[in-house]
Structures are given as C-alpha cells and as structure tokens.
Amino acid sequence: MNFQWYPGHMTKAKRQMQEDIKLIDLVIELVDARIPLSSRNPDIDELGKNKYRLILMNKADLADKERTREWSAFFKEKGFFVVSLDARSKSGMKNITDIVMEACKEKIERDRKRGIKNRPVRAMVVGIPNVGKSTFINSYAGKACAKTGNKPGVTKGKQWIRLNKSVELLDTPGILWPKFEDPEVGFCLAVTGAIKEDVYDRETAVELLLERLMHIYPEDLRVKYAIDFSEAEPVREVMSKIAVARGCLKAGGVLDIDKVIQLVLRDFRTGRLGRFTLD
Ligand code: GDP
C-alpha cells in the first residue's frame, strides 16, 4: 500500500521527547495489542535507553487472546515489563502501580540506601496517535489526582499528575511517529485506524484486510457475515457476498462498494467481527 504522508512535524516531536525523557525514570509505552510490532516506533528504544520500561498492550479487548499471550511473552523475554489492557476500563488499572514499582525497584532501592524515602517514581506515557494514551491517563489517574504544577528550575513548564505517594505522571503523553516505510506496517496502521483515512486508499486496505482474514480467521468471517467462501476465492467475490448479506446495494441491485468498505472497516475496528491480531 502507498501512503501520501510525510512526517515532517515529527522532527519537533522527537526533540520534545528527547527533552521530556530526561525528566523521568520510567517509560510507559502503549502499543496496540492487535498490531504489537507495527504500532511500535523503534526509535523509542534509543530514546528510552537507560530508562525503566513498561509496555502496555492496549485494546487487548479487540485482539486475539492467544496471540496477546505470545506477544506478551516475547516482550518480557526482551526485558520489558508487560501488561495487557483495555484502557477504557478502570478495573484494568488496579495492578498497574504494583508493576510500576516492580519495574523501578532498583531505583527505589537505591534511593532507600541513600536515605531518600517516598520520592515518587516519575513516568511518561508514550505511543503512536490513537493507541489510547489519553484514555489510559484518564483511567489511571482518575479524578482524584492532583496536578502538582510547575516546579521551577526542575521541570520548567511541565505538569505532573500525582497519582499517589509513589507515582507521578507527566500529564501530556509523548506522541511517537508511526513507522510505515514498510507497506505491511502501513497496512496494519491503516486498518486499525491509527492513521487518517485520507492518506491511503481504503478500498485497497479493505481488500488486503479481507484477504488476510479469509486466511487467518475464516470462520469469524463466515459466521459474522453469514456467508460461505473458499480461501482461494477472489476477494472481490467475497466482498459481493458481504454486500448481498448486508444489503450494501444501490438501486437495481448494483454492489455499493463504498458501503461495503465502510461496513468492513467499522466491524473490524469495533471488534464486531471478532478479536484479531494481525502481527
Ligand atoms: P491517543 O491518541 O493515544 O491519546 O488515543 P485516545 O486515548 O484518544 O484513544 C483513541 C481511541 O481508542 C478512542 O476512541 C478510545 O476510546 C479508544 N480506546 C482507547 N483504549 C482502548 C481500549 O483498550 N480498547 C478499545 N476497544 N478502545 C480503546
């Protein structure tokens, strides 16, 4: 897939992140559990080196559970702390602080040895657009938290959210620029809704998505749309079947391709079609 998109403004974002990262102990990186690799920006490993690292596999409610377990194990193997999550649910937040403390236990221990008690861990939430950063901050911080305001000299211009006596969060998330020189990555970002629809061809995206689903999750497609197909069938025929099953037809019974595209993308993104992992 081709993308009419150039991340010009991302140079500024990167510089900002380089500055912000100096202020924190822990990077909380959100990835999309449906595309745990495609939704990562590899630069974060360079930017966040020497920091403690927690990966939140967000939108886990939309992802294939078994694959989420596998990806989680993969990241843990690489040395990250990992939690899978639905950022919209407050109940998912319960153990986050425990894991933050666990991830930063070296620092806490070092502070303790120096006689520093109760110095909060400072964390920053990062991730590509739409991955759920704001949703997470709202759910995790809740209403009860106090903004600690500017601390001149130390954190000029920065707002921190005091979550409890142990954790402070930088209140604006760091926006990572998606990487999609790789067409596969671009495809994954497009169909999950991470990038704006005006920079790629939706029809191509939906064709590729359906072809993918026909192979890796055929039963979900068959059941949800009440259609039958063989895996070797041309995708346009499957689209016609979906159109007929769902009444995506124009006057005279002509296939309304725009309607099918819209329907499939919506059903995929909302999880109505099933729980899928593409990476
Ligand atoms: P940000 O750009 O990273 O700050 O992303 P937002 O927090 O604005 O979230 C983008 C969209 O994803 C919103 O419509 C959220 O409701 C939705 N969202 C966030 N987290 C989750 C999640 O865990 N599961 C699902 N299904 N949707 C989520």
pLDDT in tens, 191-206: 999 888 888 899 999 9
Ligand 1 proximity of 93 Cβ (cutoff 6 Å): no
pLDDT of residue 175: 85
pLDDT of residue 10: 67
pLDDT of residue 165: 85
Ligand 1 proximity of 137 Cβ (cutoff 6 Å): no
pLDDT of residue 98: 93
Ligand 1 proximity of 267 Cβ (cutoff 6 Å): no
228 compared with 151, residue with greater pLDDT? 228
pTM above 0.75, yes or no: yes
pLDDT of residue 24: 95
Please provide the DSSP assignment of the chain as one string: -------TTHHHHHHHHHHHHTT-SEEEEEEETTSTTTT--THHHHHTTTSEEEEEEE-GGGS-HHHHHHHHHHHHHTT-EEEE--TT-GGGGTTHHHHHHHHTHHHHHHHHHTT--SPPEEEEEEESTTSSHHHHHHHHHTTT-EE----TTTSTT--EEE-SSSEEEESSPEEPPP--SSHHHHHHHHHHT-S-GGGS-HHHHHHHHHHHHHHHSHHHHHHHHT----TTS-HHHHHHHHHHHHT-EEGGGEE-HHHHHHHHHHHHHHTTT------
Q: Which of 84, 96, 130, 131 to mutate to test the pocket of ligand 1 (most atoms within 8 A of CB)?
A: 130
Atom number of ligand 1 nearest to Cα 85: 23
Q: In the predicted model, is pLDDT for residue 154 greater than 60?
A: no
Q: Average pLDDT in the 7-30 region?
A: 85
